[in-house]
Amino acid sequence: MPSRDWPLPTFGLCRDHTRMLSAYPFLRLSACWRVLIMSLHKCCVRGLLKMKQELYIDDIPGECRIALLEDDVVVEIDIDRSTNQSQIGNIYWGRADSVVPSLQAAFLTLDTGPQGFLSIREANTLYPKDGSGRPRIESIIHEGQWVLVQVSKDSAGDKGPRLTANPSMAGRFLVYQPLKDGIAISSRIRDEAERARLTEAMQQVINKVDCEGGFIIRTVAEGADIDVLVHEAETLASQWAAVDLNPPTGGNPTCMYRDLEPRERALRDWAMPEIAKIITEGRELFAATKKYTDAHMPDLSDRLEVHTGSELLFEEAGIEAAIDEALETRMDLPTGGWLSIESTEALTAIDVNSGGFKQEGDREQIALKTNLAAVPVIARQLRLRDMGGQIVVDFINMRDQAHRSEVGDAMDAALKRDRAPTQILGWTRMGLMELTRRRTRKTLPDFLTGERRLQSTRVRSVESTGYDILRLAHLEADCSPSGTIKIGAHKSVVGWLNGGPLSRLSSHLSRTMEAATEDDMAIDEFDLYSE
């Protein structure tokens, strides 16, 4: 049995078979070496060999950024802004402003923002309980009706948020569904004995807590004691009990429950028991984070670390470089090939090219090796950019069906660690691989850039550049305790800074800051220094 400390192999990143096999020295090069490694990789993902996970948190007034690293590689980034906070998880009494029979959906007004979209499929808790099946939307919702809904997907572009009438309360170990009976277990918990133990434990939990509805057991609950589950179930049930279930008699739509703040939500959803470190930028953020973990996740408090230095945390950890990478449309492969990523409103298209791959061999083998090298890069970029919806991958054409299966198996293994449900639909007649990945919010490039594009690179928006400046101004204030902090930037960025963000930071740090327009600077360029 392999040691738990052996590294997880990274497919496509090794330049020869020997280096690739070195991660598993008990194997020998053979005709089935790829199959053996793929099988081991799946075991690794299930927990036989654990990846080192680290969580990095950077929070300044107006913007919170969280990054997840696996074996020192940035794989996920979440950014929340006070001007564009995620509504996912929030519960509202919404008012149906229009019911559209042709769409079998209703549009509801929430407290702020665009109207939400509620499909008949997501309104199942409103169905008659007579077993007659799914009714038509116009028979259960009428204009002006108040409906208790939860946001399941943020608005994007001209599309409002997606809603569900089956609200839930998410905890670290459990998800409470007060309007839906039954117990469900994360498919990532594969051990049958553990699944049976958790099912039995949850039956006891439901009896002890004496609450209606059902629960979903999250992956992190594997191995959890029943007392831990009871405590969380009680907490979630009390949160639901605080929601007013009586429809408003008038007035405006109201938010009845708000999910956790971004930092706390990331700790709840991302901090698995095996996480090695949680690193925060600055002592103030460290203290706030520790206060939360001490109260809700005491097992993680001793893994908290504070970063204090002359370089920003995200810069030092390579996270800023990963963000820059996510804004590129072209990604180089270690084989000499490359892939391009283009997203439209309808789908994301990924094109794999052999490029300068000079290794000798027939065309089929070159295609296979390049495609296998592209698989881990694609899987990582899906997570890093948070791309969702329909995804089409144009791999280099392979005639051998066994080679297609090999690439498909590699992709399946590479996607195992993705928290977002992802499904490989197969190959089209034209040789394209089709995938779907759950989309709940804007992609990272869309969030950071809007529609700004310069050749093959997307350019940061005014707001994104503004927050970059605020972070560096904060660091400059720490490193240079006196003097005025001077900023030179594009006029649009200066306008944004002088609209409030700069004065708020200046007041928070008790430091004078000034921003002036530089005519020759692009939107994503700036100067910053103390004087």
Query: In sequence order, what are the residues at sequence separation of 6 or more whose Cβ sits closer than 8 angstroms to the Cβ of residue 296?
Result: 172, 267, 268
**Phi, psi angle pair for 35, to nearest 5°:** -60, -40
273 and 305 both lie in a single domain: yes
Specify if 449 maps to a domain: no
Specify if 224 maps to a domain: yes
410 and 517 both lie in a single domain: no
413 and 402 both lie in a single domain: yes
Name the token pair of 414.
Answer: 């590479």
211 and 233 both lie in a single domain: yes
The rounded distance, in Å, linking the Cα atoms of 18 and 423 is 32
Where among 321, 338, 362 does a domain terminate?
A: 321
SS3 for 105-155 is EEEEECCCCCCEEEEHHHHHHHCCCCCCCCCCHHHHCCCCCEEEEEEEECC
If phi > 0 it is left, if psi is from -120 to 50 it is alpha, else beta; for residue 252 that is: beta
Residues 247/146, Cβ–Cβ less than 8 Å: yes
Specify if 287 maps to a domain: yes
Going along 178-302, which residue ranges are E strands?
183-185, 214-217, 254-257, 275-281
Specify if 198 maps to a domain: yes
CATH classification at residue 306: 3.30.420.60
Residues 379/415, Cβ–Cβ less than 8 Å: yes
What is the mean pLDDT of each successive set of 10 residues along the chain, which is 531 residues long? 37 40 42 44 46 92 94 94 89 95 95 90 86 87 95 87 96 95 91 94 91 93 93 95 90 91 91 89 93 92 90 94 93 89 89 72 85 95 94 93 93 91 92 92 89 64 94 89 92 95 91 93 93 85
Cα angle 227, 231, 237 (rounded to 5 degrees) comes to 140
Of 384, 387, 404, 386, give the one whose Cα is nearest residue 395. Answer: 404
The rounded distance, in Å, linking the Cα atoms of 96 and 118 is 9
252 and 151 both lie in a single domain: yes
Cα angle 227, 233, 238 (rounded to 5 degrees) comes to 130
Residue 358 pLDDT = 56
356 and 493 both lie in a single domain: no
**Phi, psi angle pair for 195, to nearest 5°:** -65, -40
Tell the residue number behind the tokens 């066994």, with chain if given: 402
Dihedral of CA 287/293/298/301: which sign?
negative
278 and 337 both lie in a single domain: no
Residue 97 pLDDT = 94
Query: In sequence order, what are the residues at sequence separation of 6 or more whose Cβ sits closer than 8 angstroms to the Cβ of residue 210?
Result: none
Name the token pair of 85.
Answer: 């906070």
**For the chain, percent helix, then strand, then coil, each to nearest 5?**
35, 25, 40
DSSP strand pairing (91-100 vs 73-81): unpaired
Residue 18 pLDDT = 42
Of 238, 476, 445, 429, give the one whose Cα is nearest residue 328. Answer: 445
Tell the residue number behind the tokens 């997907």, with chain if given: 153
295 and 305 both lie in a single domain: yes
Q: How many domains does the chain have?
A: 5
Specify if 347 maps to a domain: yes
Specify if 31 maps to a domain: no
Which residues span the domain enclosing 63? 53-83+260-321
Specify if 4 maps to a domain: no
217 and 173 both lie in a single domain: yes
264 and 314 both lie in a single domain: yes
296 and 346 both lie in a single domain: no
Name the token pair of 205.
Answer: 């939990």
Predicted model pTM? 0.83
289 and 143 both lie in a single domain: no
CATH classification at residue 149: 2.40.50.140
Specify if 100 maps to a domain: yes
Where among 196, 216, 242 does a domain terminate?
A: 242
**Sheet strands side by side (includes 330-332):** 330-332, 338-343, 347-353, 389-394, 433-437, 422-427
Where among 183, 209, 242 does a domain terminate?
A: 242
CATH classification at residue 464: 3.40.1260.20
The rounded distance, in Å, linking the Cα atoms of 383 and 385 is 6
Residue 453 pLDDT = 54
